[in-house]
Chain A
Amino acid sequence: MIGAKPLAIAKGEDRQLFKEAMLKIGLDVARSRMVKSMAEAQAAADELAMFPLIIRPSFTLGGSGGGIAYNKEEFDRIVANGLDLSPVHEVLVEECLLGWKEFEMEVMRDHKDQCVVICSIENFDPMGVHTGDSITVAPAMTLTDKEFQVMRDASFAVIREIGVETGGSNIQFAVDPVTGRMVVIEMNPRVSRSSALASKATGFPIAKIAAKLAVGYSLDELRNDITRLTPASFEPTIDYVVTKIPRFAFEKFPDADATLTSAMKSVGEAMAIGRTFKESIQKCLRSLEIGARGFGGGGKHGGDDQFGEEAINQKLGTPNAERIFYIRHAFRAGYSVEDIFDLTKIDPWFLHQMRQIWEMEEELKASAASEGSSRGNEAGASNSSLLTSAATTGSRSALATIDTTLLRRAKQFGFSDAQLAHILKSDMATVRAERKQRGVKTTYRLVDTCAAEFEAFTPYYYSSYGDENEVMPPKGKKKIMIIGGGPNRIGQGIEFDYCCVHASFALREAGFETVMVNSNPETVSTDYDTSDRLYFEPLTLEDVLEVYQQEGCVGAIVQFGGQTPLNLASALKANGVNVIGTSPESIDAAEDRKLFAAILDKLGLKQPANRTALSEAKAIARAGELGYPVLVRPSFVLGGRGMFILYSEEELKAVVRQVFDVMPGKPVLIDKFLEDAIELDVDCISDGETSVVGGMLEHIEYAGVHSGDASMVMPPHTLPAEMLATVRKATYELARELKVVGLMNIQFAIKDSELYVLEVNPRASRTVPFVAKAIGVPLAKLAARIMTGAKLKDLGFTREQTPKHWCVKEVVIPYVRFPGATIALGPEMRSTGEVMGIDDDRGLAFAKAQAAVKPGLPQKGNVFISVKDTDKPRAIEIARSLAQFGFTLYSTSGTAKVLAAAGIEVKRLAKITEGRPNAVDLIKNGQIQMVINTPGGLVPRRDENAIRSAAYAHNVCIMTTITGAEAAVQGVRALKEKHVGVRPIQKYMGNVDLV
C-alpha cells in the first residue's frame, strides 16, 4: 500500500486506538468510559459528573439501542437496554457534545513531513448533525486567528501521530461555545467528501496532489496548476465565502424519520461561492433546486405566511432539512438572535448574518410599500378603468424609484431577480432590465487559491456584484455552454454529470471553447480542468443567462444535465439563447400528453389507454372506464412521485386524495396498467438524418417498476428478433418525428406480443453511460458533436451494435438509512446508484451485479420463500431448483402448502403474527442466506415488510419480484457450474455484432 499503511488506517478508524493516540499527543477528546454492567455504568456517570450523556452499545447495527440521557432515570433505562442489546454486553458512556461548534480541517502531508492546511470548514449546524447533513462554510468564520492556529497545529499533530505518510486527511474538531474547550472528534485517513468540497472551494486539487505524493513527490516539488508559479506547499488563501447545503430525499421515504442526526441521510449537495457569507448562502439556497429562491423573497419556504410559536420552536429545536427557513419565520415572528441561539445553538455570528438578510428583505419591502401607497392614492382618485394600469405603474415605480445603492446592496446580499421581483411586486425580466440599466451588473471573480496574490491561469469563476470583472479574454474560438445537473438527487445523479463531462471533452477536441455551469461540488464536471471555463453558479434562469451573455456563447446544451437544464430550455430560448440539439418545442411535445398522443397516432403506435381527471370523483369514474389495474400519477412530476398501481376501486379510493395533493390544482393522469408486461429501455442517437440505436435494455422486473430502479439486461434476453425489429422501427420513426438531434430514450412495454410506448424523453438518459460501456462507443461524445453540426456518418457510427457478452444493471436503494420505510420496488424511483455486471455468461453477469450491490448470491444455506398467490405457480420451479442446488427451504403456511404439494421438501415457519420462531428470528440469527418475498397488494403487509427490513438490516440477499428470483436461480446455477473470471473492459471493446 502506498499513501497510508494499514497501521495508520487502523489507528485512524478504531475508536479506542484513536483516543489513545490523541491523549498521547496531549489533545483532548470526548471523555468516555467503556462499561459492562450497571454498577460500572453508575461509576462512569459519577466520574464524568455531567448530563446529558451519550450511550453507545458496542456492535449493534446502525447504533441501535443507543441514545442520549438527560437525567439519571433515562440513563439507567438506556444503559440497561443497551447492555441487553449489545452482543458483548458492553456500552460506551460518553460525554455529550451536542450543540458544540464543529470544524473540519483538510490537511495534506508529504514524505518529507511537510504539512499544509488546504481549507478550514465550519459547520453552520452545531454538533449532533452528521457533517454530510450539515450546512458547512469555508473558510471557518467564527474562529479568531489564534484559535485557528491552535487548530492548525493540532491537525498537523494528528496526521503525524496517526502516521498517514502522504496524502490528504480530514480532521474534525468540536469546540465548546461556553468554555472554548477543543476536542478532536475523528479523522479520515483518506480523501473524503469534505476534501472534494475543499478542492472545489479553493481550486486546490487534493486528489491529484495526493496521488503524486503517494508516488514519491513532495509538496514543494509539485506546482499549483492554477498559478503555475507557486508550489503545492503554499497554503491556499481565499478571499470569498463558500457554502455547501445538503439535499435530502425524505419525500421518497414518507414513513421514515426526517430528523437529522449523527447518521447521514442526504443524497446530494449544492455549493455556492460569494463575496460574503450572505451572498454565498442565498446563492446556495437557490442552487438546491427545491423551489427556494434564497432566504425569503417568495418561492418555497420563503413566503409571507406567519408561523406560530409552537411550529417555530419545534422546527428550530430539532435539526431538520427546513430548519434554516424557520430562522426567517422566527425573525418574522419577533424572535431575537439570542432566542434562536437558545433553540438551535447555531453560532450567533451566523444568526446575525441571516438576520441582516431578512432585514434587507424588510427594507426593500418598506421601500416598495411606501412607493406603492403613494401611487395607490393617486390611482384611487381616478376612475376604475385606470386602476389596473395604475397598479402596474405603481409596481413598476416601486422598482423604478428604488434607490440604486439599495438595489446594489440587495444584489450583494445575494438576492436573485426572482426574489426582488416578489418583494418589489414586479417580474424577473423587468427587474433584470431595470438593474442593468442602472449599472447593477453581474461581475465575475476568479477562484485562484491565492487571494489574487499571483496571476491565475485557470478560468474558474463565481458571480458577484463588485466593481471588477476578472473574466479572461476569449481565445477566439466559438464557445458552447454546457449546463450541468445541479445537486445530486434520487432520479438525477452521476449519469448526467458523466454526459456533461463527455460533451465538454468532445467539444474541446472539436475545437470549441467549452463553458461549464454547475453547482455540484462532488462532480467531475466542476473540476477546473474539465472545461475551458468553469462557472460555479446556481442553475437558475438568471444565473445561467448571465453567464451565457458574459461569455458570448454561440450555443447551449440542455439535454445532458437531466431535468434541470431541460426545465430552463424554453425560457433560455425566449431570452435569446441558442439551444442546440433537439429543439425545446420537441422536448415539450414529448412531455405534453395531447401532442404526444397525436404523434403516436400519426405513426400508428400504441400507448396504454389513458385518461385525465381534475377531481377525485372524476378520477374514480375514469379509472372505472379503463378497468383495473390502473396506474395513477400527478402530472408535472418526475421520478414517479405520488405514483400508484391500483388493482381495485377500493385501493384507488384509499390513495386518490394523496395523489391530488402532490400537485394541487393539476390534473391527475390515469393509465391502464399493463400487468406482467415486459419493459424495454432503448437509447438512441440521431443527427436528424441518421438514427442509430445505442442499446436496448430489457428489464428483469415487469413493467410497473420505475426504470431507474429496475434491474436490466443488455442485450434483451427474452424478446424475439421480430419484436426487436419492431422496436427498432418505432424508435427510428419517433426520432424522425420529434426531429431529434442528439440523444433520446424510449421506454416500451410488450404484452401479448403487442408493443406499447410508455414514455419518450428526447434527452440523454440515465442508461447512457451503461450502454456506452456495454458497446464501447462514447455515445454522449458523439451526441455533443452532432449538436454542433457533425453527422453520424462522419463520426463513423451508423450501425447498431449488440454486445456478444452480457451486461446486467442492478441498483442500490437506501432502505437501511430510513428505518420503517416500505421495502418494495414500485413506480416511484428510490435508488441512489447502480452497478454493472459483465460476463460472457448471463447467469454470471447477474451474479456479479448482485455481488457488486452486496450481499452476493449465496451458494449454500437456507432460503426463506414466501410469495403472493399469483406468483406461487412460478415459485415451484424456483424452489425445485434451489433444493437441487442443496439449499434448505423455509416457508410460511401458504407457500409451504403449494411447494409441498409439488413434492418439494420445505420446512414450515410461523408467520410473524402466528408466533415464534419466525423468519425474522432466523434472519437475525444468521440462519437465512436468501429471502424470496414478493409483496402482494397496495401496501405490503406489515409483517412482510418486517421480514424484508430484517433481511436488509442483516445483509441477507433478498429478491422481491418473481422474475428477480428466477434470475437469481440462474445466477446461482452459473456460480456453481462455471468458472468466475475477471476481464477488463478494454478487452470487451469490439466484442459486438453489427445489426
Chain B
Amino acid sequence: MPKRTDLQSILIIGAGPIVIGQACEFDYSGTQACKALKEEGYRVILVNSNPATIMTDPEFADVTYIEPLTVEFLEKIIAAERPSALLPTLGGQTALNLSMDLDRPAS
C-alpha cells in the first residue's frame, strides 16, 4: 500500500527539556521523523519547548512552535493548525503522556 493520502498535516510532539531519563535521543528521533514526513510531502507541525534541539530549527518542520508542552498550549496549537493526525511515539514519555491526555476528553 502506498502512503496515506487522507492525511495532509501531521503534528509531532517533542520531548521538551533534557532531563535524566529523557535526553537528546528524542532530538535525534524527532529530527528524523520531521525529515521523513516532509520528504513524503506532508505538512509537519512540530511543538517542543527545547530551543537547543536541531528539530526546532526553522527548516525541519513547516511550522515550529517553541511553546510549553502542556495540554493547554497543545490545544491552542491544534486549534490553530487543525492537523489531520498526531504522531505520538517519537517524543519520549512526555509526548506519549500528552497524547493520552489530549485523547482523554474525547473518549
* Residues in A lying within 8 Å of B, measured CB to CB: 1-4, 6, 9-10, 13, 111-112, 132, 167-168, 189-193, 195-197, 199, 205-212, 214-218, 221, 264-268, 488, 493-495, 497-498, 501, 521-524, 526-527, 766, 769-770, 773, 776, 778, 809, 811-812, 814, 817, 832-838, 848, 851-854, 856, 980-986, 989
Which B residues are in CB contact (< 8 Å) with A526? 28
A399 to B33, CA, bound (A): 51
Which A residues are in CB contact (< 8 Å) with B10? 2, 215
Contact check, A6 vs B49: say whether CB atoms are below 8 A apart: no
Contact check, B68 vs A851: say whether CB atoms are below 8 A apart: yes
What does the 1/0 interface line of B52-81 toward A look like (CB < 8 Å)? 111011100001111111101100110010
Contact check, B51 vs A210: say whether CB atoms are below 8 A apart: no
Which B residues are in CB contact (< 8 Å) with A522? 23-25, 27-28
Contact check, B68 vs A190: say whether CB atoms are below 8 A apart: no
CB distance from B46 to the nearest CB of A (A): 9
Contact check, B18 vs A770: say whether CB atoms are below 8 A apart: no
A851 to B49, CA, bound (A): 10
Contact check, B89 vs A268: say whether CB atoms are below 8 A apart: no
A984 to B59, CA, bound (A): 12
Which B residues are in CB contact (< 8 Å) with A836? 49-51, 66
Q: Who on chain B is nearest to A500 by CB?
A: B54
Contact check, B24 vs A523: say whether CB atoms are below 8 A apart: yes
Q: Which of B4, B22, B35, B103 contacts A1 (CB 8 A)?
A: B103
Given A9-B96, A211-B32, A501-B76 contact (CB < 8 Å):
no
Q: Who on chain B is nearest to A521 by CB?
A: B25
12 interchain pairs, CB-CB under 8 A = A189-B89, A191-B29, A207-B28, A208-B32, A211-B33, A216-B1, A265-B20, A493-B24, A494-B18, A832-B20, A835-B16, A852-B16
CB distance from A854 to the nearest CB of B (A): 8
Given A9-B100, A190-B90, A191-B90, A207-B69 contact (CB < 8 Å):
no
A210 to B73, CA, bound (A): 26
* Residues in B lying within 8 Å of A, measured CB to CB: 1-4, 7, 10, 16-33, 35-37, 40, 42, 49-54, 56-58, 63-70, 72-73, 76-77, 80, 85-90, 92-93, 95-96, 99-100, 103, 107
Given A190-B96, A851-B73, A832-B65 contact (CB < 8 Å):
no
Question: Which of B19, B29, B92 has the most A CB atoms < 10 Å from its CB?
Answer: B29
Question: Which of A196, A211, A497, A778 has the most B CB atoms < 10 Å from its CB?
Answer: A211
Which B residues are in CB contact (< 8 Å) with A778? 57
Which A residues are in CB contact (< 8 Å) with B92? 190-192
A856 to B69, CA, bound (A): 11
Q: Which of A1, A189, A812, A983 contacts B17 (CB 8 A)?
A: A812
Given contacts A132-B21, A837-B49, A989-B58, 13 further A-B contacts (CB under 8 A): A1-B103, A4-B88, A190-B96, A192-B92, A193-B25, A215-B7, A522-B27, A523-B28, A524-B28, A526-B28, A833-B19, A851-B70, A980-B76
Given A835-B51, A852-B17, A853-B17, A984-B89 contact (CB < 8 Å):
no
Which B residues are in CB contact (< 8 Å) with A3? 87-89
Which B residues are in CB contact (< 8 Å) with A811? 17
A13 to B93, CA, bound (A): 10
Given A205-B32, A835-B49, A851-B68, A986-B63 contact (CB < 8 Å):
yes
Q: Which of A217, A835, A981 contacts B50 (CB 8 A)?
A: A835
Which B residues are in CB contact (< 8 Å) with A497? 24, 27, 54
CB distance from B1 to the nearest CB of A (A): 6
Q: Which of A207, A523, A983, A985 contacts B56 (CB 8 A)?
A: A985
Contact check, A834 vs B20: say whether CB atoms are below 8 A apart: no
Q: Which of B16, B23, B33, B89 contacts A208 (CB 8 A)?
A: B33
Contact check, A10 vs B33: say whether CB atoms are below 8 A apart: no
A671 to B54, CA, bound (A): 37
Which B residues are in CB contact (< 8 Å) with A494? 18, 23-24, 27, 50, 52-53
For the complex of A and B, list the 10 residue pairs with the smallest distance between their C-beta atoms, beginning with the closest. A833-B18, A833-B17, A196-B25, A207-B29, A852-B49, A836-B51, A190-B89, A851-B68, A852-B68, A216-B4
Contact check, A207 vs B24: say whether CB atoms are below 8 A apart: no
Which B residues are in CB contact (< 8 Å) with A835? 16-17, 49-51, 68
CB distance from A823 to the nearest CB of B (A): 16
Given A196-B29, A216-B4, A986-B64, A498-B17 contact (CB < 8 Å):
no
CB distance from B65 to the nearest CB of A (A): 5
CB distance from A808 to the nearest CB of B (A): 11
Q: Who on chain B is nearest to A205 by CB?
A: B32
Contact check, A856 vs B17: say whether CB atoms are below 8 A apart: no
Contact check, B36 vs A211: say whether CB atoms are below 8 A apart: yes
Contact check, A2 vs B87: say whether CB atoms are below 8 A apart: yes
Contact check, A208 vs B1: say whether CB atoms are below 8 A apart: no
Question: Which of B3, B32, B77 has the most A CB atoms < 10 Å from its CB?
Answer: B32
Q: Who on chain A is nearest to B6 by CB?
A: A216
Which A residues are in CB contact (< 8 Å) with B100? 6, 9-10
Given A196-B25, A778-B57, A852-B49, A982-B85 contact (CB < 8 Å):
no
Q: Who on chain A is nearest to B69 by CB?
A: A852
Contact check, B19 vs A834: say whether CB atoms are below 8 A apart: no
Which A residues are in CB contact (< 8 Å) with B49? 835-837, 852
Q: Which of B35, B37, B76 contacts A215 (CB 8 A)?
A: B37
Given A216-B4, A833-B17, A985-B24 contact (CB < 8 Å):
no
Q: Who on chain B is nearest to A812 by CB?
A: B17
Contact check, A195 vs B18: say whether CB atoms are below 8 A apart: no
Contact check, A4 vs B28: say whether CB atoms are below 8 A apart: no
A148 to B107, CA, bound (A): 40
CB distance from B10 to the nearest CB of A (A): 7
Given A522-B28, A833-B18, A851-B73, A985-B58 contact (CB < 8 Å):
yes
Contact check, B29 vs A773: say whether CB atoms are below 8 A apart: no
Contact check, B64 vs A985: say whether CB atoms are below 8 A apart: yes
Q: Which of B17, B29, B31, B66 contacts A838 (CB 8 A)?
A: B66
Which A residues are in CB contact (< 8 Å) with B67? 838, 848, 852, 982
CB distance from B84 to the nearest CB of A (A): 9
A221 to B2, CA, bound (A): 8
A6 to B64, CA, bound (A): 25
Which A residues are in CB contact (< 8 Å) with B36? 207-209, 211-212
Q: Which of A13, A168, A268, A817 contacts B23 (CB 8 A)?
A: A268
A196 to B99, CA, bound (A): 21
Which A residues are in CB contact (< 8 Å) with B65? 982-985
Which B residues are in CB contact (< 8 Å) with A817? 20
Q: Who on chain B is nearest to A809 by CB?
A: B51
Q: Who on chain B is nearest to A193 by CB?
A: B25
Which B residues are in CB contact (< 8 Å) with A167? 89
Question: Which of A218, A498, A770, A856 has the most B CB atoms < 10 Å from its CB?
Answer: A498
Given A856-B70, A986-B58, A215-B89 contact (CB < 8 Å):
no
Which A residues are in CB contact (< 8 Å) with B23? 193, 267-268, 488, 493-494, 522, 832
CB distance from B6 to the nearest CB of A (A): 9
CB distance from A462 to the nearest CB of B (A): 19
A835 to B35, CA, bound (A): 23
Given A3-B87, A834-B52, A488-B24 contact (CB < 8 Å):
yes
A833 to B18, CA, bound (A): 4
Which B residues are in CB contact (< 8 Å) with A268? 23
A980 to B89, CA, bound (A): 28
A811 to B2, CA, bound (A): 43
Contact check, A6 vs B66: say whether CB atoms are below 8 A apart: no
Q: Who on chain A is nearest to B62 by CB?
A: A986
Q: Who on chain A is nearest to B89 by CB?
A: A190
CB distance from A639 to the nearest CB of B (A): 15
Which B residues are in CB contact (< 8 Å) with A10? 100
CB distance from B38 to the nearest CB of A (A): 10
Question: Which of B10, B23, B86, B99 has the most A CB atoms < 10 Å from its CB?
Answer: B23
A814 to B17, CA, bound (A): 11
CB distance from A473 to the nearest CB of B (A): 27
CB distance from A853 to the nearest CB of B (A): 6
Contact check, A1 vs B88: say whether CB atoms are below 8 A apart: yes
Question: Which of B2, B35, B58, B70 has the most A CB atoms < 10 Å from its CB?
Answer: B58
CB distance from A910 to the nearest CB of B (A): 34
